[in-house]
């Protein structure tokens, strides 16, 4: 990985160590297939939230997903992550149909996500919240855990070490023991990303991660996203901060009232008259 791509112009020593820790902790399994939505439709009662939308998220790319409020961005993310089932069409990974695979199974396969409004366990510490992300890979069964066998303690220790590394890497090392409800908004957003990374995901789906962040915090988010991409993770970036999306994405898909209106490079999408008309403005 090229460290220069994830660091500011004159990185402080602490920043370098953090970037390296995040990169090494984020390396996914070496599969190379895509996570794909093929000709997806989703209806809620009589409402068509998505109609015939396709999107292919490749490993090691940032794919921006933009569009006006209510255009179906979160719905598509919920379908890819298994929170919803499509009304028609298919969701595939490595060309294999995911069908009714649950959220838990998708997590084990390597699909992680964050939420438009952060969903943390407020009474638990930052470290415990991050460790929760690692559970899909925990090997200890119910009985081993119930009887407190040594293997469980060893596994928990390994998960704790990994979650601690991730938290340091993402810039939350100084608040590791703090209760999650005492974090500020940006810290909660970064903790959600750390929790997702604890799963060792191949794909990370981010729902408006820059929402409510300051310019400086968005820069940090950009560093984090580029680190994930360089580590081979496919990142879906749902976002209204279009400057940020066009700057950081390899490809961009635009939705409007549940339909795909343009897909292409940032330059192609930014210049598209229909995208300008329905979303970007003159």
| 254 is a site residue for ligand ATP (CB under 6 A) | no
Question: In angstroms, how far is CA 159 from the centroid of its own chain?
Answer: 20
Contact 112, 123 (CB under 8 A): no
In this structure, the number of other CB atoms found within 10 A of the CB of residue 48 comes to: 16
| 242 is a site residue for ligand ATP (CB under 6 A) | no
> DSSP H helical segments within the chain, as ranges?
13-26, 73-80, 103-109, 126-132, 142-146, 150-169, 185-197, 215-230, 242-248, 266-270, 273-275
Nearer to ligand ATP, 7 or 91 (CB): 91
Q: Which stretch binds Mg ion (CB under 5 A): 66-74, 80-88, 152-160, 163-171?
A: 66-74
Question: What gap in Å lies between CA 254 and CA 261, rounded to an integer?
Answer: 6
| 73 is a site residue for ligand ATP (CB under 6 A) | yes
Nearer to ligand ATP, 11 or 70 (CB): 70
| 46 is a site residue for ligand ATP (CB under 6 A) | no
Report the DSSP beta bridge partners of residue 125: 179
Per-residue contact string for residues 77-106; x = within reach of Mg ion by CB under 5 A: ------------------------------
| 81 is a site residue for ligand ATP (CB under 6 A) | no
User: Could you tell me how many residues make up the chain?
Assistant: 282
Question: What gap in Å lies between CA 111 and CA 200, rounded to an integer?
Answer: 9
Q: What is the DSSP letter of 136?
A: G
* Angle CA 168–194–55, to nearest 5: 140
> How many residues touch ligand ATP (CB under 6 A)?
12
Contact with ligand ATP (CB under 6 A) among 59, 72, 201, 234:
72
Contact with ligand ATP (CB under 6 A) among 75, 227, 253, 256:
75
Q: Which stretch binds Mg ion (CB under 5 A): 7-15, 73-81, 264-272, 274-282?
A: 73-81
Question: In angstroms, how far is CA 116 from the centroid of its own chain?
Answer: 11
Contact with Mg ion (CB under 5 A) among 40, 66, 74, 239:
74
| 213 is a site residue for ligand ATP (CB under 6 A) | no
Contact with ligand ATP (CB under 6 A) among 67, 86, 169, 266:
67
Contact with ligand ATP (CB under 6 A) among 29, 39, 44, 158:
44
Token pair 């060893």 in the structure block, residue = 154
The β-bridge relationship of strands 203-207 and 234-238 is: parallel
Q: Which of residues 199-258 bind Mg ion (CB under 5 A)?
A: none
Q: What is the DSSP letter of 174?
A: G
* Chain residues in the site for ligand ATP (CB under 6 A): 44, 47, 49, 67, 69-75, 116
């Amino acid at each position: 990985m090229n460290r220069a791509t994830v660091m500011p112009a004159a990185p402080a020593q602490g920043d370098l160590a953090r970037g390296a820790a995040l990169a090494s902790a984020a390396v996914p399994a070496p599969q190379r297939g895509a996570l794909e939505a093929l000709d997806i439709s989703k209806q809620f009662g009589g409402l068509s939230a998505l109609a015939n939308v396709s999107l292919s998220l490749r490993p090691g790319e940032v794919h921006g997903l933009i569009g006006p409020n209510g255009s179906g961005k979160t719905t598509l993310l919920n379908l890819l992550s298994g929170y919803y089932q499509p009304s028609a069409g298919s969701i595939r990974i490595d060309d294999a149909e995911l069908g009714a695979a649950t959220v838990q199974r998708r997590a084990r396969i390597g699909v992680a996500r964050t939420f438009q409004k952060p969903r943390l366990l407020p009474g638990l510490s930052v470290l415990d919240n991050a460790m929760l992300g690692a559970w899909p890979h925990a090997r200890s069964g119910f009985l081993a855990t119930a009887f407190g066998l040594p293997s469980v303690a060893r596994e928990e220790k390994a998960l704790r070490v990994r979650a601690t590394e991730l938290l340091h890497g993402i810039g939350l090392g100084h608040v590791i023991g703090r209760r999650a409800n005492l974090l500020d908004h940006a810290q909660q957003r970064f903790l959600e990303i750390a929790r997702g990374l604890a799963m060792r995901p191949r794909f990370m789906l981010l729902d408006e991660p820059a929402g409510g962040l300051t310019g400086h915090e968005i820069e940090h988010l950009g560093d984090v996203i580029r680190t994930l991409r360089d580590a081979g993770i496919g990142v879906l970036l749902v976002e209204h901060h279009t400057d940020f999306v066009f700057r950081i994405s390899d490809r961009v898909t635009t939705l409007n009232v549940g339909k795909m209106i343009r897909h292409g490079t940032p330059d192609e999408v930014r210049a598209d008259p229909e995208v300008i008309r329905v979303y970007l403005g003159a």
